[in-house]
Amino acid sequence: MSKRSRSEAFATAPDGTRIRYVTWANPNATRRVVLIHALANVAEFWSATVDALGPEWEALAVDCRGHGASGKPAGPYSVELMADDIAAVMDHAGWDSAVVAGASMGGCIAMAVAARHPARVAGLGLIDTTAWYGENAVTAWEERGQKAVDGGMAALIGFQKTRWFSDAFRESQPEILQDAIDTFTANDVSAYLETCRMLGRADMRAALGSFQCPVAVMVGEEDYATPIAMAEALVAAVPDASLTIVPGARHLTPLEVPDTVAEIIMSV
């Protein structure tokens, strides 16, 4: 643990979209990590993970386009577009390279950063994520986005909260659960729909074999949004990737087990 000073700023993406990011600076840092949140979250999704990082680390987390205080332009969105947003943020922050870690949607974007900007990526942390959501992904993600259009973001909460966290965690940490719900329901519905469509189209499988940096893959044992089989497929395709399965955890491990997520990041 070390004292890090927190600040926020805005970078401008190549297409002019403003991207908010938060930096936890550390003048004694020898290592850096860029953190990319899960769908319908914001930079602060990573606060507990950052708190658990060792004293040699400083961190940067974004609000992805369509999320939080970042711009919400019309679609279509793509993981490649969001990867270029990350490169623009790193330029604005003066970071040449860093470990890049992402959870769920953020993991898809992190893979795209490694594919499009390999010199920027010192290592990858792929958390609760997949390179491809499967044959029915386009239809399934469109249906999820349209449910929000029809009933508002709150219409998805019953479906989401049991996916996010284990039963025991929801019982024991009601404040974290409520904060996750509040963050989710604050999302712009149109931007959420476009981001769902992005995930339906996302397919990073062809890039996995080219990754030359260290790669750590992590998944919750009870994750049924991106289950263990998806994590195993990543490890099988990425040279020398490691796999950690977290007992009892579900999909949003940076909120459920931030200390373990920090350990994975520090291992890269």
Provide the whole-model pTM.
0.98
Q: Cis bond leading into 254, ω under 30°?
A: no
Looking at the chain, how many residues does it have? Answer: 268
Distance set, CA 160 to CA 21, 155, 223 (Å): 25, 10, 12
pLDDT of residue 124: 98
184, pLDDT greater than 80: yes
Q: How confident is the model at residue 3 (pLDDT cuts 50, 70, 90)?
A: confident
Taking Cα atoms as reference points, which of 91, 69, 68, 66 lies closest to residue 79?
66
Place of tokens 């049991």: 162
Which helix H or strand E contains 34, and what residues bound it? strand 31-36
Q: pLDDT value at position 85?
A: 98
Question: Average pLDDT in the 91-98 region?
Answer: 98
pLDDT attached to residue 1: 42
Q: Where are the alpha helices (DSSP H) in the chain?
A: 47-52, 79-93, 105-116, 137-151, 157-164, 167-172, 174-185, 189-201, 228-237, 253-256, 258-267
CA distances from 240 to 8, 120, 124, 237 (A): 35, 19, 12, 9
Question: Which amino acid belongs to residue 181?
Answer: I
Name the percent of the chain lying above pLDDT 90. 99
Q: Mean of the per-residue pLDDT values for the chain?
A: 97
Whole-number Å distance between alpha carbons of 80 and 31: 25
CA 115, 117, 122, 123 dihedral sign is: negative
Structural tokens at position 239: 């040279």
Q: What is the mean pLDDT of residues 93-109?
A: 98
Q: Is 158 helix (H, G, I), strand (E, B) or coil?
A: helix
pLDDT of the residue at 60: 98
Q: How far apart are CA 61 and CA 52, in angstroms?
A: 15
In order of their start, the domains of the chain are 5-133+203-267 (3.40.50.1820)
For 65-77, write each residue's pLDDT tens digit: 999 999 999 999 9
For the segment 121-158, what is each residue's pLDDT rounded down to a tens digit? 999 999 999 999 999 999 999 999 999 999 999 999 99
Write out 38-102 in H/E/C secondary structure. CCCCCHHHHHHHHHHCCCCEEEEEECCCCCCCCCCCCCCCCHHHHHHHHHHHHHHHCCCCEEEEE
- 114 neighbors 36 (Cβ within 8 angstroms): no
Distance CA 100, CA 115 (A): 12
Cα–Cα distance, 128 to 230 (Å, whole number): 9
Average pLDDT over residues 28-53: 97
